Structure 1
Amino acid sequence: MFASVCGMSVEGLSAHLVRVEVDICSGLPAFDIVGLPAVAVKEAKDRVRSALKNSGFQFPLQRITVNLAPADLRKEGSSLDLPIAVGILAAMGEIDPAFAASYVFAGELSLEGILRPIPGILTMAVSLRQLKTELSEQVNTRQDLFINENIVFVIPPGNLAEARLVPELHSESTVTLIELVKILRGEQQFNVVPVSDLSSEYDKPIVDWADIRGQTQAKRALEIAATGGHNLLMVGPPGSGKTLLARAFAGILPPLTTEESLEVTQLYSSAGLLQTQGRLVTQRPFRSPHHTATVTSMIGGGQKLRPGELVLANHGVLFLDELPEFSREVLEALRQPLEDRKITITRLRGSMEYPTRVSVIAAMNPCHCGYFGDLGRVCTCTPLQINNYRSKISGPLLDRFDLQIEVPRLSYAELKEERKVENSEQVRERVVANRQKQWRRFKSSKTNAEMTGRETKEVCILDSAGESLLKQVFDKNLYSARAYDRILRVARTIADMAGSEVIKVEHLAESLQYRALDRQANFG
């Protein structure tokens, strides 16, 4: 007997509908799964067989063939356990195959028939919502779909709260396979209630802005970076507070917009890193990989084309401490995604595109010993050693840092100085207000750092005095065209913070002073 049901397979930030076709016929007992299944999908044979037996069903001693269509799409993970089991039960006559047109199943089965949670549920729910919209509007002309617009998404209880983050989709759950069979027979109803995470909507920062002594200029530069979404590089001796400043930076970033929050939650769900159930991620990601990270761990890839640290920092911050200590291959791999705001990972098995709308905050010492330029300590490095150390950061990569600042060592008087300073919440409110100006300007959640060349020309207009100043400094320091655009974008952010509709000379002058390494021609 033949039966078919629908399941889902996740690939990156998209999910595909999979038609699970089951045929049970006479012959020697066999259980074959075809349709380009990965190892985890092939292993579903043993899980499904045990789950059916332990749920009280007689496993058929016949030839069972399961086809996963479309056959040219590789199926990963254990999400197809449940639709395979339901398909076999429908082919056995235990449930009516006609019900299959109204359900999409996804979930892993334990050997005793309990539904276990799987990663990527939010991605599946978002894709099903889009499919439901197409079906309801009758704009879908695909002939390979065997479901109607009244879709019910059946998933494990541990994923129910996550799936219901997409309210337009009807999601339900059961604890065991036998309960699902009774529901499909009409003997009982869905009754699982999702358990949502009740943690606070916005956690307090680990390092508060008010905890940092001194470093007024560095704080100002970090606030500019947070407001405009700019990349920033801090150069200073050991112990000057660079890492502390970077961690405090995370506390002044605005909450994610609804669209950004859904994208970040979907990304973390697909990667299996979602820590909260039934609640969207509202804080911007802050990723801080160690300098021994490989290209694959930073960019992404591997056998399953998983996202790397750069992708996981999407809509948030990637903090690179001890920047020159990262391998040259890792640093150079960052260049294109930082410019394009997306990355395409291509391997033998295929390619995957991920968003990389990220602000990079980096920190480094001025030399190998760390004390070049420190008025209180003697640098033991030779000019050649200093140049070799700093030349680990290539010119093209350095060009992609909108702000480059020096973070000097604090004196004893600055450490002991007692004065009232703003906390992270106060600074964040100001950052949010200035971000909203940009959102109104671009009619989206775009920031000044993400402006295109045309938008930069239209929005970043200088007066004659500003043009004269920029020309003088540009020719003296031999800036690149990329540096020219980034200087203007930072000046636009400073003007927004000052409440000015136009970029004034003082805004441009402040932007130019945040090019510390550009002013040092030989890094020495």
Structure 2
Amino acid sequence: MLTKVYGSAVFGVEATTITVEVNSVKGIGYHLVGLPDKAISESSYRIAAALSNVGYKLPGKKITINMAPADLRKEGSAYDLTLAIGILISSGQIKADEVDQYLIMGELSLDGSLQPIKGALPIAIKAREEKYKGFILPAQNAREAAIVDGLEVYGVDNISQVIDFFNEGKPLEPTIVDTRDEFFQALEHPEFDFADVKGQESIKRCMEIAAAGGHNIILIGPPGAGKTMLAKRLPSILPPMTLHEALETTKIHSVAGRTQEKVGLMAQRPFRSPHHTISDVALVGGGAYPQPGEISLSHNGVLFLDELPEFKRTVLEVMRQPLEDREVTISRAKFTVTYPSSFMLVASMNPSPGGYFNDPDAPVQSSPAEMQRYLSKISGPLLDRIDIHIEVTPVPFEKLTEERQAEKSAEIRKRVTAARDVQTVRFRESEKTHYNAQMSVKDIRKYCVLDEGSKELLKNAMERLNLSARAYDRILKVSRTIADLEGAPDITGTHIAEAIQYRSLDRDGWLG
């Protein structure tokens, strides 16, 4: 008897429906075809044990299973439940007249219970697109899939529940999530808050500007100055994610298997902080069957690279194209996947191997040659993509012991959001540009027009401070953001003067 059951495969962040065809005839044998990987090929052992433990059996017949389209590589253990239900129907052990109306996915344990799968959200989106009535999957993934409206999502704990649902008509409890209500409730509870930071007012101002314009930023300072503490609080002042951004971000984390069981939709912007021993594949994504890397997991959020010069040069260089294009394409012989990677880069570094710079009282001294070798690990092209460089100095004792509470992240975020709203209106006709950091040269010439006084100020600064040519456009972009924060239609000398302060690494004596 031939039976068709439906599952799904995830490539990149999109799902493709897989038809599992099961044919049982007289004879002996178990044949699984359709380019399954090792995990799927081993599924017969898990299925046999699971069926035995819930009162059924793997039939003593010749079973042929085809996973169509047969030329598409399938991977992972998430097809166990799909295959098991197909075998039971094909061998006549259960009846399931409506099985073709459901997508079925899940990994089986030997006792028949179900383990979570990856990619539940993109699969649910595909199921709705293709007009399936429902999606049956492990209970751990149910809230994630239930984000998708217009689709009945059934989270189950054991294969016996699925068998009873089809064979005896026992109802399953659908998982219902009020996506919008859950999303907006989670927006106002950031884990870290700028109110906890003592002193560092100038750095907070700099972070506010970076958040308002989406600018990449690098913090340079000695150990203990507060670089990491400040970076961790940056997501709390970024504008709240839109529902579209939240879905996009959740989809990527779903594919990587990083979503939390009790959280359906990600409402907080992601903050990723990989260790400096990370490989280039782990950072940008890849592998034999490409998975999203750290830059994609930080999509619509922040990627924090602590101790930037300690990262391998090759790792830093692979970020150059994703920083520019806001997506990363991974090509293999038989297929290509593209992952979005629109993130804010926040980096921190010590000014020298010893951690201190031009400080006669420093406990560790570094020679000029050591400093130059240390700083030269950051290439000019990568630095060119970082708009703001700021020096972080240690907080004095008086500030640390001050009882007055600093400004809360919620207040800063109101100003940042207002500035982003201005940019949304400004770039409403553009498909690729959404905020100031993404401006092209053409956009800069159009939206960053300077009066004569501002031009003269910028010219003098570039000559006296030995600023490089690459600093010019960056200063204009940051100036535009500062003006937006003030609600000013035009860039003035004051805005230019402040932006010039944020190009430390372009000055003579740093990177040459």
1:490 alignment partner in structure 2: 478
How far apart are 1:321 and its partner, in Å?
1.3
Report 1:238-277 matches (<5 A).
238-277=223-262
Query: Cα gap change, 1:62/1:416 in structure 2, threshold over 3 Å: closer, same or farther?
Result: closer
C-alpha separation between the residues in 2 aligned to 1:17 and 1:514? 50
2:41 alignment partner in structure 1: 42
C-alpha separation between the residues in 1 aligned to 2:403 and 2:85? 68
Query: Cα gap change, 1:44/1:203 in structure 2, threshold over 3 Å: closer, same or farther?
Result: farther
How far apart are 1:308 and its partner, in Å?
2.0
C-alpha separation between the residues in 2 aligned to 1:424 and 1:357? 23
1:161, 1:196 within 8 Å by CA — same for their partners in 2?
no
How far apart are 1:424 and its partner, in Å?
1.9
How far apart are 1:366 and its partner, in Å?
1.4
Query: Cα gap change, 1:158/1:207 in structure 2, threshold over 3 Å: closer, same or farther?
Result: closer
CA offset digits 1:350-401 (Å, max 9, x no partner): 4332111111111111112222233654872222122111111111111111
1:157, 1:194 within 8 Å by CA — same for their partners in 2?
no
2:439 alignment partner in structure 1: 451
C-alpha separation between the residues in 2 aligned to 1:341 and 1:488? 21
C-alpha separation between the residues in 1 aligned to 2:220 and 2:176? 49
Report 1:91-490 matches (<5 A).
91-95=90-94, 99-129=98-128, 131-132=129-130, 149-185=131-167, 187-191=169-173, 193=175, 201-202=186-187, 204-205=189-190, 207-347=192-332, 350-374=335-359, 376-377=361-362, 380-416=365-401, 419=404, 421-443=406-428, 446-471=434-459, 473=461, 477=466, 479-480=468-469, 483-490=471-478
Please list every run of 5 or more consecutive structure 2 residues that lacks an aligned counterpart in the other structure. none
1:138 alignment partner in structure 2: none
C-alpha separation between the residues in 2 aligned to 1:454 and 1:156? 51
1:10, 1:76 within 8 Å by CA — same for their partners in 2?
no
Partner-residue secondary structure (3-state), 2:505: coil
1:117, 1:156 within 8 Å by CA — same for their partners in 2?
yes
Query: Cα gap change, 1:510/1:5 in structure 2, threshold over 3 Å: closer, same or farther?
Result: same
C-alpha separation between the residues in 2 aligned to 1:502 and 1:389? 40
1:21 alignment partner in structure 2: 21
Partner-residue secondary structure (3-state), 2:118: coil
C-alpha separation between the residues in 2 aligned to 1:47 and 1:497? 59
How far apart are 1:287 and its partner, in Å?
1.2
Partner-residue secondary structure (3-state), 1:363: strand
How far apart are 1:485 and its partner, in Å?
3.4
Q: Which moved more, 1:395-404 or 1:91-100?
A: 91-100
1:163, 1:278 within 8 Å by CA — same for their partners in 2?
no
Partner-residue secondary structure (3-state), 1:517: helix
How far apart are 1:70 and its partner, in Å?
0.8
How far apart are 1:193 and its partner, in Å?
4.8
Partner-residue secondary structure (3-state), 1:19: strand
C-alpha separation between the residues in 2 aligned to 1:99 and 1:68? 20
Query: Cα gap change, 1:522/1:221 in structure 2, threshold over 3 Å: closer, same or farther?
Result: closer
How far apart are 1:17 and its partner, in Å?
0.3
How far apart are 1:124 and its partner, in Å?
0.7
TM-score after normalising by structure 2: 0.90
Query: Cα gap change, 1:188/1:417 in structure 2, threshold over 3 Å: closer, same or farther?
Result: closer
C-alpha separation between the residues in 2 aligned to 1:517 and 1:320? 17
Query: Cα gap change, 1:218/1:374 in structure 2, threshold over 3 Å: closer, same or farther?
Result: farther
C-alpha separation between the residues in 2 aligned to 1:437 and 1:186? 59
The residue type equivalent to 1:57 in the other structure is Y
Query: Cα gap change, 1:268/1:499 in structure 2, threshold over 3 Å: closer, same or farther?
Result: same
C-alpha separation between the residues in 2 aligned to 1:520 and 1:205? 39
Partner-residue secondary structure (3-state), 1:345: strand
CA offset digits 1:60-117 (Å, max 9, x no partner): 2121111111112111112211221222222223455652331211112222333332
C-alpha separation between the residues in 1 aligned to 2:149 and 2:178? 14
Number of residue pairs matched by the alignment: 505
How far apart are 1:225 and its partner, in Å?
0.8
C-alpha separation between the residues in 2 aligned to 1:369 and 1:485? 32
How far apart are 1:214 and its partner, in Å?
2.5
1:89 alignment partner in structure 2: 88
Partner-residue secondary structure (3-state), 2:218: strand
The residue type equivalent to 1:523 in the other structure is L
CA offset digits 1:231-261 (Å, max 9, x no partner): 1111112222212221232332232211111
TM-score after normalising by structure 1: 0.88
1:456, 1:488 within 8 Å by CA — same for their partners in 2?
yes
2:146, 2:264 within 8 Å by CA — same for their partners in 1?
no
Partner-residue secondary structure (3-state), 1:404: strand
2:505 alignment partner in structure 1: 517
C-alpha separation between the residues in 1 aligned to 2:361 and 2:119? 54
How far apart are 1:343 and its partner, in Å?
1.1
1:331, 1:397 within 8 Å by CA — same for their partners in 2?
yes
1:113, 1:177 within 8 Å by CA — same for their partners in 2?
yes
CA offset digits 1:296-330 (Å, max 9, x no partner): 22222234322222221111111111111111111
C-alpha separation between the residues in 2 aligned to 1:258 and 1:348? 35
1:256, 1:284 within 8 Å by CA — same for their partners in 2?
yes
1:372, 1:378 within 8 Å by CA — same for their partners in 2?
no
1:141 alignment partner in structure 2: none
CA offset digits 1:122-150 (Å, max 9, x no partner): 11112223x33xxxxxxxxxxxxxxxx35
C-alpha separation between the residues in 2 aligned to 1:282 and 1:322? 28
The residue type equivalent to 2:237 in the other structure is I
How far apart are 1:20 and its partner, in Å?
0.5
1:504 lines up with 2:489 in the alignment: no
Q: Percent identity?
A: 44
The residue type equivalent to 1:151 in the other structure is K
Query: Cα gap change, 1:242/1:150 in structure 2, threshold over 3 Å: closer, same or farther?
Result: closer
Partner-residue secondary structure (3-state), 2:17: strand
2:145, 2:264 within 8 Å by CA — same for their partners in 1?
no
How far apart are 1:206 and its partner, in Å?
5.0
2:32 alignment partner in structure 1: 33
2:5 alignment partner in structure 1: 5
C-alpha separation between the residues in 2 aligned to 1:209 and 1:467? 35
